[in-house]
Each structure stands twice: as C-alpha cells, then as structure tokens.
Chains A and B, each alone.
Chain A
Amino acid sequence: MNSPAYISLKDVVFSRSGRRIFDGVSLDIPRGKITAIMGPSGTGKTTLLRLIGGQLKPDSGSIVVDGHEVPKLKRRALYSLREKMGMLFQSGALFTDLSVFENVAFPLRVHTKLPEDMIRDIVLMKLEAVGLRGARQLMPSELSGGMTRRVALARSIALDPELIMYDEPFAGQDPIAMGVLVKLIRDLNGSMGLTSVLVSHDVPESLSICHYACIISDGKVIGEGTPEELRAHPSGQVQQFLQGQPDGPVPFHYPADGAAQDFGLSGGVS
C-alpha cells in the first residue's frame, strides 16, 4: 500500500465521441509530492483527472490510486475512496445556493457526524488557511474568481484528504490571485503532507511549485521529469510548449489544402 507512487496509470487508452484522447498513457504520480500535468488546451488534462477520480472509465489500461484499481471499484468503494480525494475544479464549482461557510461545511455534514460547534471550528480553520475566514457569510455570487477558487480549495481540504487534484487553478487569474494560489498549493502540500496533482498550461507557475512534471500532447506523454530535467529536454515539442513558441513541431497552421489552390493563384505561393 505504501509504494512511492500514489497514483499509477498504465497504458491508459480513452476515446470519446470517436476521438482518441489518450493512446497508451503511462504515468506514476509520487506520494506526498506536487506533480504538474501540462499540455496544450484540449489534450485531455481534465479528462485525466476525471479518470483518476473514477468519473470516467478508460477503454483499456489500469489506473491505480493508493492501491485501488479505480475502474474496477464498485460504487460504494469508489465513493469511499473519493472521501480521501479533494478536487479543485476550474470554475470552483461552489454550490450557488449555499453560503461560503455552508459550502465548506458540506462535506463535513455529509460524511461525518461531528457536532455543530466542531464543524464550525473546522470550517473556520479551513477558511483561515485560505485567508477567507472573514468571508464566511458571503454567497458565491458575491466572490471574485480568485476568492471562489480559494473557497473551493478550503472545501476540498475540509475532510483532510490524502490527494488533491487541481484543475487549471491559475487560468484567468490576476497576478495577485495567482500568487496567492501558488503559495496556497505549496503550503498545503507541505503542511498537510498531501499528494497534489496539478493540471495546468501555465508553465512558469506550475514549474515553480512542482516536484515533478509531465507534458501530454496528442494522447501521449511527450516528456516527464523534474522541472530541471524538462527544461533540458531534447524534444522540440517539449521545448516549443515550455517556451511558448507559436510555430514548431506543433504547426501554426491547421492542416489545409495548398494556399495557391485556395486563393485561386496559378503561381507558386508557399
């Protein structure tokens, strides 16, 4: 049970709507570390988190989380495994009819039989950890994007999970909010001994906090290692992604017929 990899994916194949999203992805996510999964938009990074959480089933391959083969788990076992997982959704996914306090209290009320004053203390501690103890009475519609994610983060750590998955935590955040989130992810991982999986395409922020990173493109892992190993990676595709070059192994142009033919020119336009 105590293997160094908390999550282990082997030859995972997954297709949706006739399109192959993952074509034999194998990946080990170490216990107690922050692992960043990066890749261009639309490569299925969020889908990977849903596969790990058992919300989707792979066509083939194995996904083992803390010794449990997730796709083969029965409903009850899957739900009890999920109590050890926290997930921060890109949109925050707060319950819009509940206040900030009640959102964070939700998993505690559902999964524990703690007395009300203890729930209150735990909720306030979690909100304090994300700096929003004073915002407990606000409704989700009154929060900024960054605050929404912090509340969602407080909610996802309410049950003290072993694993936390962040889905694009930095997308659309201003520099201050981004700095706050980077600090929170780093601090939480350190203080709670969490295994963190971070899905993002924000390269500098992700590489600044992760211990280990992998880049997925076209359904395969194209590069993995520590941030230093990745920066020195020989693959042109990895370097294009890390440095944000507009053209390279991933072409600027979407495949099309010849320009001369499309523009009705007889001369050789390349």
Chain B
Amino acid sequence: MIDRIAAFGRLGLDIVSSFGRSGRFLAGVLGGVPRPATGFPLLLKQLYAVGVLSLAIIVVSGLFIGMVLGLQGYTILSDYGSEAAIGQMIALTLVRELGPVVTALLFAGRAGSALTAEIGLMKATEQLSSMEMMGVDPLRRVIAPRLWAGFIAMPVLAVIFSVVGIWGGMLVGVDWLGVFEGSFWGNMQSSVDFVDDVLNGVIKSVVFGFVCAWIAVYQGYDCVPTSAGISSATTKTVVYSSLAVLGLDFVLTAVMFGDF
C-alpha cells in the first residue's frame, strides 16, 4: 500500500517536473530576440516543412469532411424540410469546430511527429550538442524557428481546411443533391458572424498551433536519445497533442460560446 502511494507520489512529481522543464524550455526558446537576417530564412524553411508540406493532407481531409457534412446534413435536415439550412450548418460546424480541431489533429500527426523525430535524431546524433559546443544555442537556432512555424502555419491551414470543406459541402449539397445555391450561400452569409464564428475559430487554431508545436519540439528536445526513446517521444507528441487539443477545445468553446 505504502509502495503504491509512493509510486503515485513519484508520478505526480515527474509530471510536475516535466511541466517545469517544458516551461523553462519555452522561456529559453522565446527568450532571445531573433536576428532577422539569420532568423527569417530559417523560419521560411520551417514554414515550408510544416506548413506547405501539410497542405495536401489538409486539403484532401477538408474536402472529404465537407462532403460528408453535406451528405449527413442533407439527410438530417431534409427530415424537417429545412435542407436549405445546409450551408450554414456546414459553415458553422467547420469554422467553429472541425476546422481548428481536425486541422490540429492532422497537424500533430503529420508535422508534429516529424518535428519530434527530426529534433530527437539531431539530439541522438549529437548535432545539438555540437551546435552548443560551437557557441550556437540550439534552442534559438533549431527549436525557435520550428515553434514559430507551427504557430504561424496552423491558423492558415485551419482556414484553408474550412474553405475547402465548405466547397466540398457545396459540391454534395448543391451540385449533387440539388439544394438551391442561393439559399446555400445566403443562409451561410446571414448566419455566420465574422467575430463570433470566424475569429473565434481562428483564435482556437492559434492556441492549438502553439500547443501542438510546443509539445512536438519539447518532446524531441527532451527525448532519450536512442531509437526507443525517439519512438516513444514521437508517440507522446501525437497522443499529448491530440488530448491537449480536445481538452482545450472544450475549454475554449465553453468560454467563447457557452451562455453563462
């Protein structure tokens, strides 16, 4: 019994110290003022790696999710004779929820895991240590551009996801199932508010972007530098990011849309 309590206590201490380490890590990454001449090219390279290369999965997923929403929405709404509301249903669902959340989950799987594995391998092959020994801080040179790139890329990807999703929903709703195009777009425009819906969705994706990128780079930097350690860190990135995104989504939704 005492052993169990002790193990529970150790687990608690481990978790708290891990939070502490990741906080100090974040302060180290964001602490310095980047030099534009060196920082900007590094940021661009990472924006390409985490943003542009994630476009394919985001666009394809957005298209199919929009199409499924169109189908499901039409089936349910037509029971009530209100299939004309399909446009606003698709747009609100995507802009408020599915855009930021699914993009973040896909981002964690596609770009987050890649960031963790890349940084973990750099650690295992002593590239980070050699950088330190050359008088270059890897937190600023390697980690900071990746963190900022994730932070910047996520909202853009989420917006693209929502736009493509709405287009997919229109393909199914209007072009296939025959909902009147005017009511599809008209209802959407009249019910989607820029600040309440679009901006809140973007704020969500900004938060998710920051959290996912932070988890990914921290797990890579803090991993045990062996093949098993990198594998475990990559898994942790996807699991922790997904849980953090879903948990934070609830909190943010409650704050933004909860009527209390």
**Interfacial residues, chain A to chain B (CB-CB below 8 A):** 50, 53, 55, 75, 79-80, 82-83, 85-87, 89-91, 93-96, 106-107, 110-111, 152
State the majority secondary structure of interface residues on A. Answer: mixed
Number of B interface residues at 8 Å Cβ cutoff, please give it: 13
Closest to B45 in A: A97
7 contacts between A and B (CB under 8 A): A55-B133, A80-B135, A82-B134, A82-B135, A83-B134, A107-B136, A110-B135
| Chain A residue contacts of B136, Cβ below 8 A | 79, 107, 110
| Chain B residue contacts of A152, Cβ below 8 A | 130
Is there a chain A Cβ closer than 8 Å to B126's Cβ? yes
User: How many Å from the CB of A72 to the closest CB on chain B?
Assistant: 18
CB < 8 Å neighbour of B132 from A82, A86, A106, A107: A82
CA distance A82 to B129 in the complex (A): 12
Contact: A107 with B134, CB < 8 Å? yes
Within 8 A of A (CB), among B42-70: none
Q: A91-B125, A95-B127 are in contact. Are A55 and B135 (CB under 8 A)?
A: no
| Chain B residue contacts of A89, Cβ below 8 A | 126, 129-130
Closest to A107 in B: B134
User: How many Å from the CB of A2 to the closest CB on chain B?
Assistant: 23
Is there a chain A Cβ closer than 8 Å to B137's Cβ? yes
Contact: B130 with A83, CB < 8 Å? no
User: How many Å from the CB of A42 to the closest CB on chain B?
Assistant: 16
User: How many Å from the CB of B92 to the closest CB on chain A?
Assistant: 43
| Chain B residue contacts of A107, Cβ below 8 A | 134-136
Closest to B134 in A: A107
User: How many Å from the CB of A139 to the closest CB on chain B?
Assistant: 14
Given contacts A75-B137, A82-B134, A87-B130, 15 further A-B contacts (CB under 8 A): A55-B133, A79-B137, A80-B135, A83-B134, A87-B133, A89-B129, A89-B130, A91-B125, A93-B129, A93-B130, A95-B127, A107-B134, A107-B136, A110-B38, A110-B135
CA distance A83 to B132 in the complex (A): 10
| Chain A residue contacts of B129, Cβ below 8 A | 50, 55, 89, 93
CA distance A107 to B131 in the complex (A): 9
| Chain A residue contacts of B125, Cβ below 8 A | 91, 93, 96
| Chain A residue contacts of B38, Cβ below 8 A | 110
User: How many Å from the CB of A145 to the closest CB on chain B?
Assistant: 13
User: How many Å from the CB of A16 to the closest CB on chain B?
Assistant: 13
